[in-house]
Amino acid sequence: MFEAILSFLPRAIAQGIPLLYGSTGEIVTQKSGNMNLGIPGVMYVGGICGVIGAFLYEQSLPSPDAINSFLAVLIPTLFCLLGSLLMGLLFCFLTVTLRANQNVTGLAMTTFGVGFGNFFGGSLVKLSGADMPFLALSATSNCFKVTLPFADKLGVFGDLVFGYSFLVYLAIAIALIASFLINRTRTGLHLRAVGENPNTADAAGINVNLYKYLATCIGCMIAGLGGLYYVMDYAGGIWANNAFGDRGWLAIALVIFTIWRPNVGVLASFLFGGLYILHMYIPSGMNLAVKELYKMLPYVVTIIVLIISSLRNQRDKQPPQSLGLPYFREDR
Amino acid sequence: METKVATVKMRDITKTFGSVIANDKVWLDIYKGEILALLGENGSGKTTLMNMLSGIYYPDEGDIFINDQKVVIRSPKDAFDHGIGMIHQHFKLVDVLTAAENITLGLDGKLDLKAAAKKIRQICDSYGFEVDPNQKVYDMSVSQKQTVEIVKVLFRGADILILDEPTAVLTPQETDKLFAVLRNMRNDGKAIVIITHKMHEVEDLSDRVAILRHGQFVGDMPTKDTNAQEMTNMMVGHAVTLNIARPEPVNPRPRIEVKDLTVRSIDGILKLQDVSFTAMSGEILGIAGISGSGQKELLEAIAGLQPVEKGSVSYIEDDGTRDELLGKDPLDIAEKGITLSFVPEDRLGMGLVGGMDLSDNMMLRSFRKGRSVFTDRKSPATLARRVVKELEVKTPGIETPVRKLSGGNVQKVLVGREIASAPTVLLTAYAVRGLDINSSHTIYDLINQQKQKGVAVIYVGEDLDVLLELCDRILVLCAGKVSGIVPGRGAKKRDVGMMMTRLGGNANE
Amino acid sequence: MNKTRQPLFHIVKRGETPWYFGWGVRAISIVLALLCCGLITTLVTGENPFQFFATVIDGSFGSSRKFMVLLQNTAMLLCIALALTPAFKMRFWNIGGEGQALAGALAAAACMILMKDLPNLVVIPCMVVTSLLAGAVWGAVPAFFKAKFGTNETLFTLMMNYVATQIVAYFSVVWENPKGSGSIGVINPISKIGWFPDLFGSKYALNIIIVVLVTVGMFIYLNYTKHGYEISVVGESERTARYIGIKVEKIVIRTMLISGAICGLAGLLLVGGTNHTLNSAIVDGRGFTAVMVSWLAKFNPIWMVLTSFLLVFLQRGAGEIATDFGLNASFGDILTGVILFFIIGGEFFITYKLILTKSSKKEEK
C-alpha cells in the first residue's frame, strides 16, 4: 500500500504540473477580467515552440554529445515564451484593443493553437525523417530533466520532495509568487480592481488596458511553460500530435476549483493530476471501461465546486465581476 | 483683491456621442479658493463636461488649460497629476476591496495599508468623517460609500475637486457636514466644482454659478448677484412657473391597502418596516423620502416583483371584494384581471428593452394575448404609432430602438404603454427624473388624466416642490418606516423635509 | 514631457450606419483573411498563391462527392450552431454543444446496439426520441443551476463536454467490436438497423434536408413566436423580463432544453445518418466551431448558413492543400484560426471608428 502511494504521488505531481502552469496563467489572466478560453491553444503553442527551438538547436550540433545543457534549456524556453507571448498579444489585440467577444476569440485561438502545434509537430516529424509518428528530442529532454544531485541520497522522502526537475519547482514558485503578487502588492491590488470593476480602476488612474495586456501576456507565457514542461520533461522530449490532449481545459477547470487562488492551485493541481491518473491505480484487469469513467473525475469535481461556490454566494469567493466583459471607457 | 487667476480654463470644448451633441463649444473657468456651482437640467452636459476634465472622456474638440499651461487629459491618471479629483455620482468603488484598498487604489509606491489606514484616520478626524479602513465596500451603506469616495480624493490632496450631485443620497445632516468640509477646503485655496440642480444648494454653498443648457454654456455670475428665478430662467431658457394642475379627487374609494409590509434585501438589510397605508382611486398618493428609503421596494412589492418578509397588500375592487397581491408575480396579478401599471425608475433597464424598437416595446405588455404561438405584431405597431402621435414622441420611426431616443421621449414611450392598458392602479417611480420642463409637464398631465379617470396613482418623487403641488396626499418614508402621511394641500415643505429625516418630523422638538 | 503629447487618434462609437456597411466590412475582412491564408500557404509550400485558391476550390467542388461532403459538413456545423443560437440570444453562453451532441450520438448508438433485433420502424423513432432527450437533458442541467443559483454557465457547459466525452469513451469500450479493439466498429453493418435511409442515392441528402428545415424553423421560432420574443427580452434585460412577468428561470431551462435537443439531433444525424458508429471524437470540435459560426452571423439563422459554409469550405480546402502538398492535416485549423481572427477583428470597425486628432496648431496666435 505504502509502495503504491510512493509511486503514485510523484506521478500525480508530474501530471499536475502542466495543469498548475496553465491554471496559474489563467488565474493571472482572469484576475484582469479577461476570460482566455484560448489557454489550451496557448499551451500547445508553448509546447511546439519549445520543440522547434530544441529541434533547431539539436540540428545545429555536430553530434548529440556536443550539447551544451545551458543552451539546450535556454533556447527552447525562450522559444516557448516568445510563442506564448505572441498568442497573448493576439488575444489582447483582439479583445482589448478591438473589443471582440472573449469567448469567441478564445475558442478561435484554441482552434488555431492546437492546429499550429499539430501542424508544426507533424512537419518536424517529417523533416526529421523518423519512421515513427513522433519526434524524439531526448538529448534536450535530458538537460531539462536534471534533478538535484543529492535527491536520491535522501531515501524515499528525498525522492518525493527533491526528485523533480527545475520546471516543477519553477511551477510551484510561480504559483506562490503569483499568489503573493495578487494579494499583497499594489500591482496585485490594481490588477484585482481592473478585473472587478474596470470603470473604477480607470477612474483611479490605473491604466486598464495596460494591465489587461500585461496580465494576459504574462498569463499566456506561464501557461506556455506548461506545454514546454509536458513535452520536454513529462513526455521525455517526445512530441506526438494531440498527445497533450485536454489538459488545457483541465487547467481552466482548476482555476474554478481553486476559486482563483494560485497558491491553492499547487496542491489542487496535484490532486487533479492524481485524479487524472487514478484509473491506472484502480485494480485493473476487470473492466477497462471503468477507467474511462475515472478520467472524468476532475471535471465532475470541478462542476461540483462550481455549483457549491454559487450556492454559498459569498462575495469574495466569486469570479472577478467583470470577467469576460470588454471595457470601453466612453461606453454609455 | 481682484487678482483671482483661473486655475482651469476650458475652451471650445465639444463632445458628441454618436449623433447626440453633449457639449457644444463650451467655455468654462474655474478659480482657486472658490466654490463653483455647475447648474443645468439633467442632460444639459454638466457631467460630460466634468468627465472630460477628470479624464473619463476625451473631448472631440477644444482645449483645456491648467494654470495657463495647455494640457491634454487622456486618462484619470493625467487628471490626478494635474490635481483634479472627481467624486462621481455613481460610486467608483470596487465592492470586494476594503475602504483602505479603494482609497489607495491607483497610487504608486509600495502597498502599505497600515500607513494608509493611519492617514485615512487623520483625514477623517480633521473633517469629522467616519470610515473604517478595513471594512469591505459591499458591507457599506450608500452614505458610507460616498464618504469613502470623498476621503479618496482628499487622500490624494487634490487641488481641484469636482463633485457630481453629491447630496442626492445624503440626509440633510450629512449634507451640512459635507458643505462645511467643502467650505473649509475652499478657504484652504482649493478650487471646488459642485454639479447640482438643487437651487437652494447653489444659493447656500457656491460663490459663483455657471449654467449649461442643452450642452451649451449660457453664462456665469457671482451667486450673490443672482437669484433662484434668474438661474432657473437661464437653465430652461425662458421663464417658467411650476404651476402643476391639481384637480379634486374623483369619488375616492380604497383601492390598494398595504398592511404591516416588511421587506428585507438579499443581504438581510431591513428596507421596509411595518408600512401601512391605503391608496384611493381617483387620487394621487405621493411618496416622499430621501433616495433609498424603501421607495423602490415598496413599489416593487405592490407590483409583485419583490419578495416580502411579512404583511399584506390587498387590491380592493369597487364592490369591496379583496384580492391579496403578495405572493403573486406580475403575471398572476394580470391573470386575476387586475390591470396594474408600473413606470419603474430604471426605464431602459426595467421598463423597456433598449435594444428593441418602439413597436416591440409596446408588445412587452401584450405579447401573451391570444392562443397562437406566433406573436401579433400589428396591434403593438398601431399602439406605437398612436403613442408617438398623441404624446409627441420625437423619433425617426417606430422601428427605432428606444435606446436611441432621448430621456424624455423614452419616458413618454414607457408611460404611453403603461396607461394604454387602462389600468386601475398606476405606480410611478421618479417619473420626471432627467426630463426637461416641457416633458415633465406632459407627464404630470398624463398622470392627472389617469387620476380623473379614477385610477389610484402612487407617485414616488424626489422633488418636494412637485410632490407638494401634484399630490393629494403625501406619504413620507424615513429609513423604511412611514414617518407620516400629510395632505398635499397646505403641507409645508419644511415639515415634509423634516419628516424625511426624522420619524414623525419635528414632533418631539 | 509627454503630458503635452496629444493622442494620435481616439476611438468613438459609430452612429447609425446603413445595413450594408457592416456586411461590407465583413466581406473585406474575409477577403483580407483569404489573402493572408494564401500568403501563409505560399510561404509554407512555395506554391504560387493562385494555386492556393484553385486547390481550395477543388477541395470543395472538385467532384460531386466532395461537394456532397462539403454540404454534409456544413449541415452538421450549421445544425449545432442553430442549436446554440437561442441560448446565445438569451445571453446564455452555451459552449457545451460538443457534449450535448455527444449525448445525442450516444443515445442513438445505444438504441442501434441494444435493439439490433427489432425492425427499423421501432428503432429509428426510439433513436430520435432518446437522442433529442439526451441532448436536452445535457443542456438543461447547467441551465437549471444557472437559473436557480446563478452558476456560471460558460464554465459549467464547458466541463459537461468532457464528462460526455468520457461517458462515450466508457461505452466505446463496453460495446467494443471486435473485442479488444477499444472502439465500436460500424454498427449493424449487415442488417443496417438504425441506419437512416438514403435519399436521391446519397446518405447525406436526408441530413441536409433536415438541417434546412431546422434552419427555417429556427428563423421563424426566434423571430415570429412568443417563445422567441421571450428569449429576446430575457437576453436584452432580465429585469425587464421579470417586470413584465416572464419567469426567467423557466425560459432559461426551456430554451436550453431546446438548444440541447437540437444538439442531440446533430448527434443523431451523425450516428444514424452518416457515420453509423460512435466514438468520442465523432462531433469533431463542431461544438466549439459552432459558437463562432453563430456569433459571426450575429445570431441570425439565415446568415449562419453562409458563415458555416465559409468555415467548412475553408477547412475542406485547407485539407485538400494538406494532402496535395503533403502537409499535415492540421493546416486547416491554422487557416480557420487566421480567418476567424480577421473576422473577429473586423467587427470592431463596424461598431467603432477611429478619429485622428485634429492638429492643435491653430492655438498659437
Q: How far apart are CA A240 and CA C192, in angstroms?
A: 37
A307: CATH: 1.10.3470
Question: Residue A247 falls within a domain, yes or no?
Answer: yes
Interface residue B23 vs chain A (CB under 8 A): no
Q: Are residues B71 and C4, on separate chains, in Cβ contact within 8 Å?
A: yes
Question: Residue C349 falls within a domain, yes or no?
Answer: no
Chain B stretch 144-203, residues whose beta carbon is closer than 8 A to a beta carbon of chain A: 152
Question: Residue C151 falls within a domain, yes or no?
Answer: yes
**Nine cell digits for residue B54:** 477628470
Burial class (CB in 10 A: 0-12, 13-18, 19+), C223: middle
Residue C99 scores a pLDDT above 90: yes
Question: How many CA atoms are closer than 13 Å to the CA of A272, on its beta-carbon side?
Answer: 33
Question: In 3-state terms, what secondary structure has residue B7?
Answer: strand
Question: In 3-state terms, what secondary structure has residue C210?
Answer: helix
Select from C95, C152, C295 the Cβ nearest to the Cβ of A319. Answer: C152
Q: Which residues in chain B touch residue C351, judged by CB atoms under 8 angstroms apart?
A: none
Fold classification of B6-236 (topology level): Rossmann fold (3.40.50)
Q: How far apart are CA B329 and CA B55, in angstroms?
A: 44
What's the confidence (pLDDT) of residue C217? 95
Per-residue H/E/C for chain A: CHHHHHHHHHHHHHHHHHHHHHHHHHHHHHHCCCCCCCHHHHHHHHHHHHHHHHHHHHHHCCCHHHCCHHHHHHHHHHHHHHHHHHHHHHHHHHHHHCCCCHHHHHHHHHHHHHHHHHHHHHHHHHHHCCCCCEEECHHHHHHHCCECCCHHHHHHHHHHHHCCEHHHHHHHHHHHHHHHHHHHCHHHHHHHHHHHCHHHHHHCCCCHHHHHHHHHHHHHHHHHHHHHHHHHHHCCCEEECCCCCCHHHHHHHHHHHCCCCHHHHHHHHHHHHHHHHHHHCCCCCCCHHHHHHHCCHHHHHHHHHHHHHHHHCCHHHCCCCCCCCCCCCCCC
Q: What is the mean pLDDT of chain A?
A: 86
Q: Are residues B373 and C3, on separate chains, in Cβ contact within 8 Å?
A: no
Summarised one tens digit per residue, pLDDT across range C330-348 is: 888 888 888 889 988 888 8
Chain B stretch 155-194, residues whose beta carbon is closer than 8 A to a beta carbon of chain C: none
What's the confidence (pLDDT) of residue B504? 62
What own/partner pairs with CB < 8 Å and gap ≥ 24 does A180-188 have? A182/A27, A182/A28, A182/A31, A182/A262, A184/B111, A185/B110, A185/B111, A186/B104, A186/B107, A186/B108, A186/B109, A186/B110, A186/B111, A188/B111
Select from A249, A289, A330 the Cβ nearest to the Cβ of C173. Answer: A289
Summarised one tens digit per residue, pLDDT across range C164-211 is: 999 998 898 888 877 777 778 888 888 888 888 888 877 788 889 999
Backbone φ and ψ of B309, nearest 5°: -80, -50
Interface residue B367 vs chain A (CB under 8 A): no
Question: In 3-state terms, what secondary structure has residue B266?
Answer: coil
In the structure, what pLDDT confidence band is assigned to residue A8 with cuts at 50, 70 and 90?
confident
For residue C130, count other CB atoms closer than 10 A to its CB: 19
Q: How far apart are CA C20 and CA C127, in angstroms?
A: 44
In the structure, what pLDDT confidence band is assigned to residue C362 with cuts at 50, 70 and 90?
very low
C134: CATH: 1.10.3470
Q: Are residues B76 and A202, on separate chains, in Cβ contact within 8 Å?
A: yes
The angle formed by the CA atoms of residues A144, A147 and A149, to the nearest 5 degrees, is 140
Summarised one tens digit per residue, pLDDT across range C281-334 is: 888 889 988 998 998 888 899 999 998 998 888 888 878 877 777 777 788 888
Q: How far apart are CA C319 and CA C340, in angstroms?
A: 17
Q: Are residues B364 and C247, on separate chains, in Cβ contact within 8 Å?
A: no
If one compares C223 and A161, the residue with the highest pLDDT of the two is: C223
Q: Are residues C225 and B360, on separate chains, in Cβ contact within 8 Å?
A: no
Q: Which residues in chain B touch residue C226, judged by CB atoms under 8 angstroms apart?
A: 367-368, 373-375
Q: Are residues B349 and C239, on separate chains, in Cβ contact within 8 Å?
A: yes
List the domain boundaries for chain B. 6-236, 247-339+424-436+456-509
- B169, B290 in Cβ contact below 8 A? yes
Please state the separation of Cα A187 from the chain's center in Å. Answer: 22
In the structure, what pLDDT confidence band is assigned to residue B188 with cuts at 50, 70 and 90?
confident
What's the confidence (pLDDT) of residue A332? 41
Q: What is the mean pLDDT of chain B?
A: 84
Q: Do B6-236 and B247-339+424-436+456-509 agree at the fold level? A: yes
Q: Which residues in chain C touch residue A293, judged by CB atoms under 8 angstroms apart?
A: 166-167, 170
Q: Are residues C247 and B331, on separate chains, in Cβ contact within 8 Å?
A: yes
Chain B residue with Cα closest to A188: B111
Closest CA to C99 of C172, C167, C147: C167
Residue A53 scores a pLDDT above 70: yes
Q: Are residues B342 and C243, on separate chains, in Cβ contact within 8 Å?
A: yes
With cell 539539436, the residue in question is: A58
Q: Are residues B76 and A189, on separate chains, in Cβ contact within 8 Å?
A: no
Q: Which residues in chain A touch residue C326, judged by CB atoms under 8 angstroms apart?
A: 126
Burial class (CB in 10 A: 0-12, 13-18, 19+), C166: buried
In the structure, what pLDDT confidence band is assigned to residue C3 with cuts at 50, 70 and 90?
very low
Q: Are residues B86 and A203, on separate chains, in Cβ contact within 8 Å?
A: yes
Range of the domain at C191: 64-308
Chain B stretch 45-84, residues whose beta carbon is closer than 8 A to a beta carbon of chain C: 58, 60-61, 63, 70-72, 74, 78, 81
Question: Residue C69 falls within a domain, yes or no?
Answer: yes
Q: How far apart are CA A264 and CA A20, in angstroms?
A: 10
Summarised one tens digit per residue, pLDDT across range B18-36 is: 666 888 899 999 998 899 9
- A224, A79 in Cβ contact below 8 A? no
Number of H-type helices and E-type strands within chain C: 13, 2
Chain C neighbors (3+ CB pairs < 8 Å): A, B
Select from B80, B95, B109 the Cβ nearest to the Cβ of A196. Answer: B95
Task: Print burial letters for B366-386: b (CB count within 10 Å at least 16), e (below 16).
Answer: bbbeeeeeebeeeebbebbee
Kindly list the distances between the CA atom of residue C44 and the CA atoms of A119, C40, C322, in Å, as whole numbers in the listed order: 11, 6, 11
Chain B stretch 360-379, residues whose beta carbon is closer than 8 A to a beta carbon of chain C: 360, 363-365, 367-368, 373-375
Please state the separation of Cα B484 from the chain's center in Å. Answer: 23
Chain C residue with Cα closest to A299: C159
**Nine cell digits for residue C31:** 477577403
Closest CA to B64 of B50, B85, B77: B50
Q: Are residues B138 and A315, on separate chains, in Cβ contact within 8 Å?
A: yes
Select from C5, C6, C239 the Cβ nearest to the Cβ of B350. Answer: C239
Q: How far apart are CA C3 and CA A57, in angstroms?
A: 47
Q: Are residues B105 and A201, on separate chains, in Cβ contact within 8 Å?
A: yes
Residue C183: its H or E element? none
Select from C4, C229, C244 the Cβ nearest to the Cβ of B70. Answer: C4
Structure-derived torsion over alpha carbons of residues C358, C363, C364, C365, reported in degrees to the nearest 10: 130
Residues in chain C: 365
φ/ψ bin of B392: left (φ > 0), alpha (ψ from -120 to 50), beta (otherwise): left
The DSSP secondary structure of C57-84, one letter per residue, reads HHHHHSSHHHHHHHHHHHHHHHHHHHHH
Range of the domain at A223: 2-317
What's the confidence (pLDDT) of residue C365? 33
Pairs of CB atoms within 8 A across A/B: 82
Q: Which residues in chain A touch residue C288, judged by CB atoms under 8 angstroms apart?
A: 107, 110-111
Question: Residue A18 falls within a domain, yes or no?
Answer: yes
Q: Are residues B111 and A207, on separate chains, in Cβ contact within 8 Å?
A: no
The DSSP secondary structure of B207-225, one letter per residue, reads SEEEEEETTEEEEEEEGGG
What's the confidence (pLDDT) of residue A177? 95
Looking at the 3D structure of chain C, how many domains does it have? 1
Interface residue C361 vs chain B (CB under 8 A): no
Q: In what order do the strands lie in the sheet with B69-71?
A: B20-31, B6-17, B61-66, B69-71
In the structure, what pLDDT confidence band is assigned to residue C1 with cuts at 50, 70 and 90?
very low
What's the confidence (pLDDT) of residue C357? 59
Interface residue A247 vs chain B (CB under 8 A): no
Question: Residue A332 falls within a domain, yes or no?
Answer: no
Q: What is the mean pLDDT of chain C?
A: 85
Chain B stretch 59-78, residues whose beta carbon is closer than 8 A to a beta carbon of chain A: 75-77
Closest CA to A121 of A113, C286, A82: A113
ipTM: 0.86
Question: Residue C75 falls within a domain, yes or no?
Answer: yes
Backbone φ and ψ of A92, nearest 5°: -65, -40
**Nine cell digits for residue C203:** 446518405
For range C263-272, the mean pLDDT: 93
What's the confidence (pLDDT) of residue B1? 37
Q: Which residues in chain A touch residue C285, judged by CB atoms under 8 angstroms apart?
A: 111
Backbone φ and ψ of A68, nearest 5°: -100, 115
If one compares C64 and B341, the residue with the highest pLDDT of the two is: B341
Q: Which amino acid is at B395?
A: T
For range B467-496, the mean pLDDT: 86
Chain A neighbors (3+ CB pairs < 8 Å): B, C
Summarised one tens digit per residue, pLDDT across range A230-254 is: 998 888 888 888 888 888 988 988 8
Burial class (CB in 10 A: 0-12, 13-18, 19+), C302: exposed
The DSSP secondary structure of C14-51, one letter per residue, reads -----HHHHHHHHHHHHHHHHHHHHHHHHHHH---HHH
In the structure, what pLDDT confidence band is assigned to residue B193 with cuts at 50, 70 and 90?
very high
The CATH architecture assigned to B247-339+424-436+456-509 reads: 3-Layer(aba) Sandwich (3.40)
Of A21-30, B231-240, C347-356, the range with the lowest mean pLDDT is B231-240
For range B259-282, the mean pLDDT: 87
* Shortest Cα–Cα distance, A258 to chain C (Å): 14
Chain B residue with Cα closest to A318: B96
Chain A stretch 178-237, residues whose beta carbon is closer than 8 A to a beta carbon of chain B: 184-186, 188-190, 192-193, 196-197, 199-207
Summarised one tens digit per residue, pLDDT across range A256-313 is: 888 899 999 999 999 989 888 887 777 755 567 778 888 888 889 889 988 888 887 6
Please state the separation of Cα B385 from the chain's center in Å. Answer: 30
Question: Residue C14 falls within a domain, yes or no?
Answer: no
Residue B147 scores a pLDDT above 80: yes
Question: Residue A90 falls within a domain, yes or no?
Answer: yes
Kindly list the distances between the CA atom of residue B156 and the CA atoms of A189, B87, B91, B105, in Å, as whole numbers in the listed order: 17, 12, 17, 10
Summarised one tens digit per residue, pLDDT across range B168-177 is: 667 667 788 8
Looking at the 3D structure of chain A, how many domains does it have? 1
For range C10-23, the mean pLDDT: 73
For range C93-108, the mean pLDDT: 93
Residue C47 scores a pLDDT above 80: no
Summarised one tens digit per residue, pLDDT across range B431-447 is: 887 677 778 888 898 89
Residue B493 scores a pLDDT above 80: no
Select from A184, A189, A204 the Cβ nearest to the Cβ of B92. Answer: A204
Closest CA to B31 of B3, B63, B73: B3
Q: How far apart are CA A238 and CA A134, in angstroms?
A: 7
In the structure, what pLDDT confidence band is assigned to residue C358 with cuts at 50, 70 and 90?
low
DSSP 8-state symbol, C199: B
What's the confidence (pLDDT) of residue C7? 57
With cell 417606430, the residue in question is: B398
Select from B57, B92, B106 the Cβ nearest to the Cβ of A190. Answer: B106
Select from B329, B353, B360 the Cβ nearest to the Cβ of C237. Answer: B353
Residue B306 scores a pLDDT above 70: yes
Chain C residue with Cα closest to B330: C245
* Shortest Cα–Cα distance, C202 to chain A (Å): 31
Q: Are residues A299 and C163, on separate chains, in Cβ contact within 8 Å?
A: yes
